[in-house]
Chains A and B, each alone.
Chain A
Amino acid sequence: MQEIEERLLCEISRKGRRAIDLEPIDSNHNRLGVDERQSIGLPELSEPQVLRHFVRLSQQNYSIDANFYPLGSCTMKHNPRQNEKFSRFSGFLNLHPLQPVSTAQGALSLMYELKRWLSELTGLPGVSLNPAAGAHGELAGMMVIHKAHEMRGRQRKVVLVPDSAHGTNPATAAMCGYTIKTIPSTKQGLVDMDLFKASLNDDTAAFMLTNPSTCGIFDPKVKEIADLLHENGAYFYCDGANFNAIAGKIRPADFGVDVMHINLHKTFSTPHGGGGPGSGPIVVTAELDPYLPVPNVVKTGGAYQLVNEDEKSIGRLKSFQGHFGMFTRALSYMLGHGADGIRRASEDAVLSANYIRASLNDLYHEPFPGNCMHECLLNDRHQRDAGITTMDIAKTLIEHGFHPMTVFFPLVVKNAMLIEPTESEPKETLDDFIGAMRQIAEDVKLGDVEKLKKNPISTPRRRVDEVKAVRDLKVTW
C-alpha cells in the first residue's frame, strides 16, 4: 500500500465552496416557532474535493476484494456484486417501510422466501428477520427464552456460558437480567461435561453455546448437552457465528438447538462494510415461535401481511422490518448458490481450514490437535521463548501482504491465532499464506526478533499509540 496522509475535511474546507446545487428558494415562510439557525460548523468543499478525499481514504484500507482476510469467526468471504446490483433496484431502494402493504408485496414476498430458506437450512420453523446484527439477534433470542420461562410461570436466574464464548454472549444474557455462570473448557477445547452437569439445575434458563465452537471444533457431545438442557427445562441457545462450517450439511435443529441467530454478513455474504451494517435473523423451535419479535411477515390467501402486534410476542426490538437491504443481498447469494452450492461452500471452507492447519502445525503450536471445522486455532507457544508473540506474528503478516488472523481470541488459549480462510480463496492463495507463516516462523528461529518487532513498516501507518488515544481522548476535530 502506498503511504498517504490525508487531511481532515475541516482542514481542506474553504468558505464559499459548494458541492451540491439545489433548487433556488422563492419563499420565506417560517412556521418553526424559532429563529433559523445561524451557524453549524460543517466544512465547505467542492464535489471533486469530496470525491478525492474519500477515494484517498479508501486507499488506506485493506479489503476482501483486494486481498486474503483470514479473520477467524468473522467469515470474510467473497461478496458477489450481483447482490449489490439487485439490491439497488428502485423497487427496493425507494420503498418506504410504512407504505400500505398492498404497495410492497414484492418486498414482503422476498422476506417470506428468505425466512423459508433460513428455516430449511436450520430445521427450525420459527424465523424473525428483525434483529439488526448478530448481537441484536442474541438479545432477541435471549428475550424469547426469558419470555418462555415467564409464560411457564417461573423465571430462572442463571445462564451458562463457556469460557470460549464471544463477549456478546455474557453481555447479552446480563442485559436480560441473568447471572452468568462460566463453564471452563476441557483440555480438548470442548465443554467440560462434568462441570456442565454440576452447574445445571432448575435455575438454569439456558446454555449459550457456539457450535462449531470458537476453537473451531464441532462438539461431539452437543446432542447430549441439548438433551440434558431439555430434561432440566432449560433452552439451548446456539451462537450461529460459525454456521459457515455446516450450512447446507448439518441442521442445528438436529443437534437440539432451540434458538440460533444467523449472521447474514458472515454465512450469507452480505458485505461487512468496515463494521456494519450487519443483519442477525433468529430461528427458533415451534414452541418458541409465538414469542418472536414483531413485526412478522405472514401469508394469508395470496397476499402478504405484516403483523405488527401480537400479545405473546416479546415486542418490537427496533423500528421497522429489519435490515431489508441485507435480506435482498442474502437471498441473492442463496439463490445463486442453491442448496447444493451452499453445502459445497461449507465443505470447501472446512477443507481449506484443515489444509492450513496440516501445513502449519509442525511450526506453530496447535492447542487442540485434530481435524477442525472452518477455522483453525494455533498459538505462539513455539515462538514465545524467542520473544515473539502473536501480536508480532500478526503485524508481520501485514508486511507479507496478508490481513492478520483473529488474535487473542478465544480467550481459553493463551495468545490465540484463529484462522478462517473461507471457501472463497483458491489453493494458490492458501499456499502463499502458508508460505508467509512458515517464513515468519523461520525468521523467529533465525533470531531476527528486532526486525519482526518493528512490523509493519510499509503500511499507511505503523503501530499506533493506543494508550495515548485513551489518555488524551480526542474524538472530534
Chain B
Amino acid sequence: MRYLPHTDSDRQEMLAKIGVNCVDDLYDNVPAECWPKGLPDLPTTKSELDVERIFVNYAKLNHAANDGPFFLGAGVYYHHIPATVDYIIQRSEFLTSYTPYQPEVSQGTLQYVFEFQSMVAALTGMEIANASMYDGSTSVTEAALMAKRITKREDVKIFGELHPQYRETLETYFSVIGGNIASNDPDESTACVIVQSPDFHGEIHDLTELRKKCDESGALLIVVVAEIVSLGLLPAPEVADIVVGECQSVGIPMMYGGPYAGFFACSKKHVRQMPGRICGETVDVEGRRSFVLTMNTREQHIRREKATSNICTNQGLCALAFTVHLSLLGEEGLKHLAKLNHQKACKLADALATIEGVTIQNKTFFNEFVAELPIESNDLVEKLAANGIIAGYALGGNRLLISATEMTTDSDVESLINAIKVEVK
C-alpha cells in the first residue's frame, strides 16, 4: 500500500523490540466479544488511477456553474478566484500544518490570522475580529448566544429577511441551549436585534433606526453580511455591536456547500465573551514582534464546561484563501469588484423588466434581488436547469431570487432572458 512505509521486516523488528509476537497482541485489551464476526462489505486497495476514474465519473454527473449561464446566489456566490489564491493554500506549510499551538514554528499561520482579523475589522468597521467561525450560519448563532451572555436576556428579534438556513440553525441551537426568537419590537427582555443586510431577498437596510431602537431597549445590534463583497460598496456597519457573516465570496469556491469560513467582529469591550480562536501580537524573548493564540481562558480546553463555546479551531485554510484574495484585491480592487457586481445586477434587473409580466420587487439591492414572474418560479428553475441554465433560487410562488456577479456575461443574460420568454409565453 503506497501510503504505508513499514516493510514486513520493519514490522518484525518493531514487534521484537516491543516484546510481542504479532500486532494483535497489542490489541489484547479488546474483549473477545467486541471483535467483528466478518469483514466489512467494502472494496480493497485501488491505484491512484482507478480512484481518479471514479472521481471523474462523480464530477461528470454534476452541472457546474461554468457549464452554462448561472444566476444562483442565496448566500453562496459564484465569484472568480485568482490563481495565486489556490497556489498559496496548497503550500505544504499551510495545507498540512496543525493549529498553531507552538508559536515558535507557526508564525506563518499566526501572522496571516492576525492579518485576517485586521482586514475583517476594517471591512466591518469594528474594533476587533476573531480568527473565523465555521460559516455564516454558525457565526450568527454564536453572536446571538454571545448577546444573551452579555445582556443576560433571552429574546432575539430578527428584523427583515434573515437567510432561512441561518434562522433554522439558530432555532436548532436555541431548542437545547435556550433562547427565544421574538416577534415583537425590542424591549427590556431583548438580548439583540439581528438584521441581515443586504438581506436574503437582497434588500439593503438602514441601520440608524435600528440602532436607536436597540439603544432605547438596551439590546445589542447584530448585523449579518452573507455577501461580503457588498462591503466594498456599502457603508461599514459600524453602528453595530457585533458584525458576523460569510467569507465565501472572497477566495473560497462554492464546493457544494463547504467548507467556507464565517467572520466574527465586535467592539473590544466584549472580547472576553467572544467565541472561537483569537490571535494577538506580542514579542519573543529577543523582543521580536511575534503572534500567538491569546485570550485562551475563554476556551474549552481551559474552561471546559464553562467555556464561551465548544468551538476548537477556526477555518484556517479558508481564512487564508480569503486573506490572500483580499490582499490581491486591496482597497481599490474590492471597491471595483463590488461596483462591477452592482452594475451587472442593475443590467440584469433592467433586462428582466423588459419581459412582459416580470417585475423587480426590491427597493434596493446590491448584486441580488427578487423578480416576480408570471409563472411559478420552481417550475422555471427546474425547466431551465434541464436546458443548462441555473436561473436562481425559487422563493415559492412566482418569486425568483436572482443574482449577478463579475462572472455574468452579456450573453449569459441574453440566454436567460430568451429562455424565460419561452416559458412565460
Contact = CB atoms under 8 A, between A and B. Distances in A.
A424 B58 contact: no
Interface string A433-449: 00000000000000000
B27 A350 contact: yes
Interface residues of B, number: 202
B313 A276 contact: yes
Contacts of A103: 62-63, 385, 390
A314 B171 CA distance: 10
Given A54-B112, A105-B61, 7 more contacts: A6-B111, A66-B93, A109-B61, A120-B41, A323-B259, A345-B1, A465-B282
A132 B3 contact: no
A17 B65 CA distance: 31
Interface string A447-460: 00000000010011
Contacts of B221: none
Question: Which of B6, B66, B87, B171 has the largest count of A CB atoms less than 10 A from its CB?
Answer: B6
A66 B5 contact: no
Interface in B255-310: 255-259, 261, 268, 271, 277-286, 288-290, 292, 294-295, 299-307, 309-310
A1 interface: yes
B343 A398 contact: no
B119 A462 contact: no
Nearest to B204: A33
Given A42-B329, A133-B134, A272-B98, A34 B29 contact: no
Nearest to A90: B64
B82 A423 contact: no
Nearest to A12: B327
A322 B382 contact: no
Contacts of B59: 89-92, 106
Interface residues of A, number: 195
10 contacts: A9-B119, A63-B95, A66-B92, A82-B52, A90-B64, A94-B254, A96-B65, A103-B385, A106-B57, A348-B6
Closest 10 A-B residue pairs measured CB to CB? A91-B59, A320-B257, A106-B61, A273-B317, A97-B257, A277-B259, A65-B92, A33-B364, A315-B172, A426-B5
Contacts of A1: 105
B315 interface: yes
B422 interface: no
Nearest to A273: B317
A380 B258 CA distance: 42
B338 to A, nearest CB: 8
A385 interface: no
A427 B135 contact: no
B106 to A, nearest CB: 6
B196 interface: no
A40 interface: yes
Nearest to A342: B42
Contact of B11 (A36, A351, A359, A409): A351
Q: Is the interface of A mostly helix, strand, loop or mixed?
A: loop
Interface stretch (A193-201, A228-236, A281-289, A333-341): A333-341
Interface in B90-119: 90-100, 102-109, 111-112, 114-115, 117-119
B122 A40 contact: yes
A363 interface: no
B424 interface: no
A462 B284 contact: yes
B336 A345 contact: no
Given A62-B97, A107-B58, A132-B135, A275 B277 contact: yes
Contacts of B290: 461, 464-465
A217 interface: yes
Question: Which of A13, A29, A57, A332 has the largest count of B CB atoms less than 10 A from its CB?
Answer: A57
B36 interface: yes
Contacts of A186: none
A351 B26 contact: yes
Contacts of B98: 64, 69, 71, 74, 76, 272, 274-275, 403
Interface string A1-18: 100011011100100011
Nearest to A76: B98
A251 B337 CA distance: 51
Interface string A161-179: 0000011101111111100
A42 B70 CA distance: 30
Interface in A317-360: 317-326, 328, 332, 334-341, 344-345, 347-348, 350-352, 354-355, 357-359
Interface in B110-138: 111-112, 114-115, 117-119, 121-123, 127-129, 131-132, 134-138
B231 A40 contact: yes
B169 to A, nearest CB: 5
B311 A135 contact: yes
B425 interface: no
Interface string B40-73: 1111111010111011111111111111001010
A175 B285 contact: no
A404 B106 CA distance: 12
Nearest to A347: B23
Nearest to A82: B48
Nearest to B63: A103
Contacts of B313: 133, 275-276, 278
B31 A351 contact: no
Question: Which of B108, B302, B349 has the largest count of A CB atoms less than 10 A from its CB?
Answer: B108
A80 B55 CA distance: 15
Contacts of B277: 275
Given A92-B59, A249-B27, A319-B166, A336 B259 contact: no
B322 interface: no
Contacts of A177: 176-178
A62 B258 contact: no
Contacts of B64: 90-91, 93-95
A174 B106 CA distance: 32
A26 B347 CA distance: 11
B215 interface: no
Contact of A92 (B46, B62, B123): B62
Contacts of A172: 310
B51 A464 contact: no
Question: Which of B13, B15, B109, B364 has the largest count of A CB atoms less than 10 A from its CB?
Answer: B109
A355 B18 contact: yes
Contacts of B309: 171, 175
B331 A43 contact: yes
A355 B15 CA distance: 7
A143 B118 CA distance: 35
Contact of A37 (B15, B19, B52, B335): B335
B253 interface: yes
A249 to B, nearest CB: 7
Given A50-B84, A272-B98, A315-B175, A100 B382 contact: yes
A465 B286 CA distance: 10
A321 B258 CA distance: 8
Nearest to A326: B259
A220 B157 CA distance: 51
Contacts of B169: 316-319
